[in-house]
Structure 1
Amino acid sequence: MFARSTRSTLAAASKRRYVCPLCLRRARRSQLGDARLPTQIKSQSFQTESQPPPPQDDTPFRKLLKDAAKQQKKEKGSSFEQPATSAKSTDPRLKKWELTVGIEVHAELNTARKLFSSAATSISETPNTHVSLFDLAFPGSQPHFQKETLIPALRAALAFNCEIQHKSSFDRKHYFYQDQPAGYQITQYYEPFATDGKLTLYPHDFPPGAAPQPGPFDIGIKQIQMEQDTAKTVQQPPSTHLLDFNRVSHPLIEIITLPEIHDPVVAAVVVRKIQNVLKSVNACTTGMELGGLRADVNVSVRQRGGDSSEAGHSYHGVTGLGQRTEIKNLASVKAVEDAIIAERDRQIDLLESGGVIEGETRGWTLGSKTTKRLRGKEGEIDYRYMPDPDIPPVIIGYDLIEHLKRTLPKLPDVNVDSLVQTYGLTTKDAITLLSLDDGSRLDYYLETVNILLSQTKGQESDVPLETIGKIAGNWVLMELGSLFHSEPWDPTRIPPNFLAGTISRVRRKQITSPSGKRLLSIKFDGDRRTVQEIVQQDNLLLSPLSNDEYMSLAQSLLDEKPEMVKDIVEKKQTKKVMWFVGQMMARTKDGSVEPGRAEEVLKGLMGLGEEKL
C-alpha cells in the first residue's frame, strides 16, 4: 500500500502564486544566470520546487519585465515559447509531408463524489483511504450513478458549444491492467452525452508571431463523454509498483477533437485553451500541473497532394490519413508540442527509409528525442465494447440545459474582449489579468475601477471608462505586481479603496507617481493609516518647482554632461533624456518634480521640441 501523503506538497504548490510567471521566470533566468530554471509553461498555478528564491535586490519589477523581453528574443527553445512558425521553415521535408493530429483530453471533474460510488473524490489524501467496495470490484458490488457529477460535465460541454444529447448511455471497455481492478472501464462510446462542438482559437491565444492565420478559426470537437478514472500507479524501482485506489472511479470527461490540427504549436494551444475554458466554468479540479488534466495525441503523416502507400486510413470520419499512433498521458503543454514533433519526425524518417508505420501506443518523457513503443494499438474489437447492463440510460432534461446556459460563467474570450473594448486594456494585459490568482486579481481590478469611477463623478466630469480602466490596469499589474511578485496574493494588504485613492491623487497631480508607489509600499508593509493620513503626515503632497527652478536645475545637469547632450542632439539618442529626468527627481525633494514637466523642459533647452511654459 502506498502510504505517503501528498497533501503537504499540494498545499505548498497552492500557496505559491507569482505575478506574470512566464515573464518573471525569464527575468530571473536573465538576472541569475541559472540554467536549471524550468521552462515549462504553466497556467495560473504551478510547481515551484525546482525554482530558486526570487531576487533579493531592489531591481524594479518593470525593469525585470523589460529584461525578460530582451532575453526572450535571444533564447532558442520551444516554439510554444518563442515567436515561431512551428519548424515549418526549418525542415524542408514538411513541404512533402503533412502532419495530422487529433487530441483526446481527459479532465477530472470538480465533484464531491465519485462517478459510480458515494466515496469522496480525494486523490491528494492518504492513499487507499477513500475507496468503496465497487471501486475495488468487490464481487456483488453494483455501480450507482451519482447524478451531481453530470453538472460540471454539462457546463464543460456548453462552454465548447456542444449539442447536449437528451439520452446517453454507458459502455464497458474491456482490457486488463493492474490499475483497472474490474478488468473493464465504464465509459460512454456509442452514446456520449455531448457531440458536435468546437473550440475557437484567436491570434491572442498564440505567442507573438506564431498564429497560423490573422483571424479566429475553429477546431472541431467530435464528442465529450463521461468515464471513470483508473488507479494511480506509483513505481518503486527496480520492480515494485504500488497502487493507490483513491483515484479509481473519479469522474472524468474525455474531450475528443477532430483530426483537424496540422501544427504542433496549434495542438499545444488547443490543450492549454481547453484547460483554461474548463477552469473558467468550474468544471475541472486542477490543471495539468497537478495531474487534473492529461492529454493523449494521435499523430499521423501523409504525403501532400495525394495518398502515399500509408495514406489509406481514416480517423473520426476523416479518410485518406496515414496510419496513426497514439502518445499517451502527456502531462504538460510543452510535452504535447515536443512529443508531436518527435513522433512526426520519427514517422517521416521511417517512411522515407521504406519502412511501415504500425498502429501502436507510444510514450513520451520530457527531454527525450523520440517517442517509445509501449504496446500494440487496440481497436474496437480488442476492447469488446458492450452496453453496461447495470447502469440505466442517463436522461437529461431540457430545463436543466437551459438553466445551465443562463448561469454559465463568462468564458475567457468574452472576458478578454470586454477588458479590451470596454476597459481599454491591451490584449496582453487582459490575458495576464485573467490568468492570475483564479480570478481574484480580476475581481480586485474591477472593484478598483468602480471606486475610481464613483470618485471621478464627484470631482471630474466626462472621464472615459477606457482611461480609468487603462490606468487602473497598469497599477494593478505593474505596481502591485512588483510588491506581490514573491508573496501570495492578498487583496487585504492593499484594499481596492486604498489603491483607488492613490491613483486618484496621482491623476489629479496632488502627488507624484513615485509618491504613489511609496504609498502602496507603506501600506503593503502593514501601515493602518488611510491614504489621506499618510499623504499629510509623511508630507507627500506635490509642491512643484517654479518654472525658473525647473530651468535652472535642468541647465545645470546639461552643463555637467556635455557629451551625453551631444549624443542626444546629434546622434538622436533621445532615450537618454530620461536619465536627466531621473537626476532632476533625485536631486530635489520628493514631490517637487513632475517627470513629464521635467522632460519638456530638458527637450526645450536642447532644442528637441517646443517647451510648454
Structure 2
Amino acid sequence: MPPPTSALRARRPFILSQYRSQWVCPSCLTQSRRLHTEVVQTPSQSSTSPPQVSAKQARSAKSTAKGAGKKNSDSKWEVTVGLEIHAQLNAPRKLFSYAATSFNAPPNSRVAPFDASIPGIQPKLNIPTIVPAIRAAVAFDCRINRRSAFDRKHYFYKDQPNGYQITQFYHPFASDGKIVLNELDGLDPSEVVEIGIKQIQMEQDTAKSIFQPSTEDTPARTLVDLNRAGSALVEIITTPSLKSSKHAAACLKKIQSILRASTAAIDGMEKGGVRCDVNVSIQERGLPGLGRRVEIKNLNSVKAVQESIEAEIKRQIVVRESGGEIEGETRGWDAVKGESRKLRSKEGEVDYRYKPDAELPPLIIEESLVNHIRSTLPPLPDQIISGLMNEPFALTLKDARTMIDLDDGERVNYYKAIYEDLLAREGFKPGSKHLGKLIGNWTLHELGGRLAASFIAWLDNPVTTVQMADLLFNLQSGTLTAGNAKRVLDHLVTFNDSKIRVAELIEEYDLASRSTEGEDDEGLIKLANHIISEYPEKAEQVRSGKKPNLKNFFIGNLMKATGGKVDVQACKQVIEKLFSA
C-alpha cells in the first residue's frame, strides 16, 4: 500500500514576515484573556524501595542535607537545577485549529475537529500564535532561528486525544538565550547570576483532566475537558546552571514577569497560565559531570518549586549518604505532606518516538519581523523596576519589586494612573512628602492590606483610580487628615460602588479637617489641657522626664477628641507647648 499522499506531497514552508503579519489584528496580539487550567497529579505508580539504612545513618544524612536547598557552599554536595516552563501564549485561537481559546467557557464548548482527533482532519498553523512566541524569545535575548520545524512526541494519556503532541524537539524556533538575576530580583547586592536558555519551542497544550471522587451513586471517575487541548504554548528550557532553590525561585519569578511584560503570556502560575517542571541532581563537589537527574512535574507555584527542590535535594543526599544510588525518575509533588512521590521511571528520547510531523511544513521567520518585534517590545521588568525607583516615583527597591510581582503587574498600571490623574488636576500641590512614595504607600499597604483582610482579589478591587486620586488629593490639600482618609478608604472598600464620590463622603460624615493654627489655636489648647488634667500621673511622668514618650499618648487622645479633624502635627505642637511651659 502506498504511503498517504499527505506525507508525499511537496510541502511549502510557512513564511512569516513583518509584511505578512500586518493582516493580524493588533488587539488580538495584546488583548488580555483568561485561560482556566487545573493541573491534576497523576496517581503514583509503584516505586522501588530505597535501600535499608540504620536510624543513625538516616539521622546523619538528614543533618548533612539540612539547608542544602538554600546554601550549598559548606556541603560536600554540589546541587544542579534546571527548569522547564510551559507558558500559554496570549493568542486568541489555538495553535493548529480555528477554535477560540477560553478561560471559563462551558466544558468542551471550544473544540474544533482537530482538537478532538476526528479522523481525516489535518492541522493548520494559525500565524497569529507565532507572534507572541517571538516576543517572548526576543525578551529572553534568544537567537531566532530562521527555519524551524514541528515534530510529534508520542505518548498515550487521556488528555491527549491524538496520541501524540506536536512540538519542536529537534528544530525549535529560538535558542541560546539568557536570564540575568541580580539585586533587582532579591539577590544580595554583590550577586549576579546568569542562567542560560537552551531553547524555546512551540507546542500544543493538553486537555484538562477533572477527577471526581466516588459518591453513593457513582464510582470515582476522571472527566476530560477539551477546551484547553491544542492551545498554543511555549516551552522554555533552561540550562542546568541553577545552584540553589533560592535562585530557581528567583529565575521562575523573572521568567513570569518577562512573559507578562512582553505581553507574550499574560496569565501567570496563580491563574494556571504557567506550569513548571524542575530537574534536580546532586554530585560530590569536585567530581566532573552531573549527578543522575530527577524530574518533578507539574508545579503550579513559585513556593512549590522552591520547596520541592529543597525536599528533593534532602532526599537525594539521604540516599547517597546511606550508600544508595539515585534513580532517574519522574516524581510528583505533594504540597500538603511536603514530599515528592515516584510517578514512573524517567522517559528518554527513544520512549517518545520523536519524528518530524509529515503534515506540517517548516516554519520560516523573516529577519524583518524579528527586527520589528524587537523595536516595539515594551519595557521589561528590570527597566520597570528601575523606572519606579528613579524620579519622579522614587519608590524603594522593595516596594518597586512588590509592585511588579503582585497581580500580574496590574498594580503598576493602577499606581501610574493615580499619579497621572493627580498631576493633571488644577491647583494640585504634591506637598513636602514625595508624591510617588505617598501613592505607593496607599496602593501597596493601605489599599492592599484592606483587600487582603477582606479576602478580595485585586481583580475585584472595588476602589477605582479616580476614587483613590480624589482621596489623596484631599489628603494632600489638608481637607482630610490621615486618619479620616483611612476611614474614607474603609468605606470605599466595604461598599464596593464605583459611583461613590469622595467629596460626598467627606460632607456626609463631616470628615473635613478643622482649620487650625496648631499651638495658637485656643480651642485646641483648652481641649488639650482638659485631657492632661484627666491623667495627672502620666502627665507628671512626662514633666519629670521619666517617660517622655508618653507625650504620644496625649497626642493620640487629643486627635481622638477632635474626631480626627485636626492634623497630627497641630496636635503635637500643642502638647509640646503645654509640657514645655
Q: Give me the TM-score of the superposition, normalised by structure 2.
A: 0.76
* Aligned amino acid, residue 183 of structure 2: P
Secondary structure at 1:306 match in 2: coil
Q: Structure 1 residues 222 and 581, CA, compared in 2 at 3 Å: closer, same or farther?
A: same
Match of 1:313 in 2: none
Q: Tell me which of 266, 275, 283 is aligned to 2:256.
A: 275
Please tell me whether the aligned partners of residues 35 and 104 of structure 2 are also in contact (alpha carbons under 8 angstroms).
Answer: no
Cα distance in 1, alignment partners of residues 71 and 191 from structure 2: 26
Q: Give 5+ residue unaligned stretches, structure 1.
A: 1-43, 48-84, 308-319
Alignment of 1:463-502 (within 5 A): 467-481=434-448, 484-485=451-452, 486=454, 487=456, 496=465, 499-502=468-471
- Indicate yes or no: 2:284 matched with 1:284: no
Moved more, 186-195 or 503-512: 503-512
Q: Structure 1 residues 482 and 175, CA, compared in 2 at 3 Å: closer, same or farther?
A: closer
Q: Structure 1 residues 418 and 90, CA, compared in 2 at 3 Å: closer, same or farther?
A: closer
Q: Tell me which of 153, 157, 176 is aligned to 2:133.
A: 153
Q: Tell me which of 344, 351, 356 is aligned to 1:382.
A: 351
Secondary structure at 1:506 match in 2: helix
Q: Tell me which of 222, 235, 255 is aligned to 2:198.
A: 222
Secondary structure at 1:220 match in 2: strand
Superimposed CA distance per residue, residues 164-198 of structure 1 (whole angstroms, 9 cap, x where no aligned partner):
22211111223333333333221112211111222
Please tell me whether the aligned partners of residues 86 and 263 of structure 1 are also in contact (alpha carbons under 8 angstroms).
Answer: no
Please tell me whether the aligned partners of residues 498 and 531 of structure 1 are also in contact (alpha carbons under 8 angstroms).
Answer: no
Cα distance in 1, alignment partners of residues 461 and 84 from structure 2: 41
Secondary structure at 2:401 match in 1: helix
- Indicate yes or no: 2:302 matched with 1:302: no
Please tell me whether the aligned partners of residues 86 and 264 of structure 1 are also in contact (alpha carbons under 8 angstroms).
Answer: no
TM-superposed CA distance for 1:430, in Å, is 2.6
Alignment of 1:36-435 (within 5 A): 87-88=67-68, 95-122=75-102, 124-206=104-186, 211=187, 214-237=190-213, 240-284=221-265, 286-307=267-288, 320-422=289-391, 423-435=393-405
Q: Give 5+ residue unaligned stretches, structure 2.
A: 1-33, 38-64, 214-218
Q: Structure 1 residues 245 and 441, CA, compared in 2 at 3 Å: closer, same or farther?
A: closer
Please tell me whether the aligned partners of residues 171 and 189 of structure 1 are also in contact (alpha carbons under 8 angstroms).
Answer: yes
Q: Structure 1 residues 537 and 249, CA, compared in 2 at 3 Å: closer, same or farther?
A: closer
Q: Tell me which of 531, 542, 550 is aligned to 2:514.
A: 542
Percentage identity across aligned positions?
Answer: 44
Cα distance in 2, alignment partners of residues 430 and 227 from structure 1: 34
Cα distance in 2, alignment partners of residues 453 and 189 from structure 1: 52
Please tell me whether the aligned partners of residues 103 and 297 of structure 1 are also in contact (alpha carbons under 8 angstroms).
Answer: yes
Superimposed CA distance per residue, residues 553-598 of structure 1 (whole angstroms, 9 cap, x where no aligned partner):
445544544554577688986654333211011223653x321232
* Aligned amino acid, residue 477 of structure 1: L
Q: Structure 1 residues 331 and 548, CA, compared in 2 at 3 Å: closer, same or farther?
A: closer
Match of 1:447 in 2: 417
- Indicate yes or no: 2:481 matched with 1:512: yes
Moved more, 444-453 or 330-339: 444-453
Please tell me whether the aligned partners of residues 444 and 491 of structure 1 are also in contact (alpha carbons under 8 angstroms).
Answer: no
Please tell me whether the aligned partners of residues 519 and 573 of structure 2 are also in contact (alpha carbons under 8 angstroms).
Answer: no
Cα distance in 1, alignment partners of residues 169 and 367 from structure 2: 22
TM-superposed CA distance for 1:324, in Å, is 0.6
Moved more, 216-225 or 567-576: 567-576
Match of 1:577 in 2: 551
* Aligned amino acid, residue 568 of structure 2: P
Please tell me whether the aligned partners of residues 172 and 187 of structure 1 are also in contact (alpha carbons under 8 angstroms).
Answer: yes
Alignment of 1:515-534 (within 5 A): 515-518=484-487, 531=503, 534=506
Q: Structure 1 residues 329 and 539, CA, compared in 2 at 3 Å: closer, same or farther?
A: closer
Secondary structure at 2:422 match in 1: helix
Please tell me whether the aligned partners of residues 101 and 299 of structure 1 are also in contact (alpha carbons under 8 angstroms).
Answer: yes
Instruction: Give the root-mean-square deviation of aligned CA atoms.
Output: 3.7
* Aligned amino acid, residue 97 of structure 2: S
Q: Structure 1 residues 212 and 298, CA, compared in 2 at 3 Å: closer, same or farther?
A: farther
Q: Structure 1 residues 503 and 92, CA, compared in 2 at 3 Å: closer, same or farther?
A: closer
Please tell me whether the aligned partners of residues 330 and 344 of structure 2 are also in contact (alpha carbons under 8 angstroms).
Answer: yes
Q: Structure 1 residues 509 and 204, CA, compared in 2 at 3 Å: closer, same or farther?
A: same
- Paired positions, count: 508
Secondary structure at 1:265 match in 2: helix
Cα distance in 1, alignment partners of residues 94 and 466 from structure 2: 43
TM-superposed CA distance for 1:397, in Å, is 1.8
Please tell me whether the aligned partners of residues 364 and 371 of structure 1 are also in contact (alpha carbons under 8 angstroms).
Answer: yes
Please tell me whether the aligned partners of residues 470 and 502 of structure 2 are also in contact (alpha carbons under 8 angstroms).
Answer: no
Please tell me whether the aligned partners of residues 267 and 408 of structure 2 are also in contact (alpha carbons under 8 angstroms).
Answer: no
Please tell me whether the aligned partners of residues 258 and 381 of structure 2 are also in contact (alpha carbons under 8 angstroms).
Answer: yes
- Indicate yes or no: 2:560 matched with 1:586: yes
Superimposed CA distance per residue, residues 53-107 of structure 1 (whole angstroms, 9 cap, x where no aligned partner):
xxxxxxxxxxxxxxxxxxxxxxxxxxxxxxxx99249999961112111010111
Secondary structure at 2:130 match in 1: helix
Secondary structure at 1:404 match in 2: helix
TM-superposed CA distance for 1:281, in Å, is 2.5
Cα distance in 2, alignment partners of residues 46 and 115 from structure 1: 17
Please tell me whether the aligned partners of residues 86 and 265 of structure 1 are also in contact (alpha carbons under 8 angstroms).
Answer: no
Secondary structure at 1:142 match in 2: coil
Match of 2:54 in 1: none
Cα distance in 2, alignment partners of residues 512 and 136 from structure 1: 62
* Aligned amino acid, residue 422 of structure 2: L
* Aligned amino acid, residue 562 of structure 2: T
Superimposed CA distance per residue, residues 464-506 of structure 1 (whole angstroms, 9 cap, x where no aligned partner):
9x82222232333344446655356699976555544543443
TM-superposed CA distance for 1:305, in Å, is 2.5
Moved more, 92-101 or 380-389: 92-101
Higher-RCO chain (CA-CA 8 Å, sequence separation at least 6): 2
Match of 1:13 in 2: none
Superimposed CA distance per residue, residues 95-139 of structure 1 (whole angstroms, 9 cap, x where no aligned partner):
111211101011111222221122222364333333333333333
Cα distance in 2, alignment partners of residues 258 and 575 from structure 1: 57
Q: Structure 1 residues 467 and 359, CA, compared in 2 at 3 Å: closer, same or farther?
A: same
* Aligned amino acid, residue 111 of structure 2: V
Q: Structure 1 residues 176 and 212, CA, compared in 2 at 3 Å: closer, same or farther?
A: farther
Please tell me whether the aligned partners of residues 35 and 273 of structure 2 are also in contact (alpha carbons under 8 angstroms).
Answer: no
Cα distance in 2, alignment partners of residues 490 and 177 from structure 1: 35
Q: Structure 1 residues 459 and 138, CA, compared in 2 at 3 Å: closer, same or farther?
A: closer
Secondary structure at 2:296 match in 1: strand
TM-superposed CA distance for 1:282, in Å, is 2.5
* Aligned amino acid, residue 208 of structure 2: K
Match of 1:25 in 2: none
Cα distance in 1, alignment partners of residues 404 and 341 from structure 2: 38
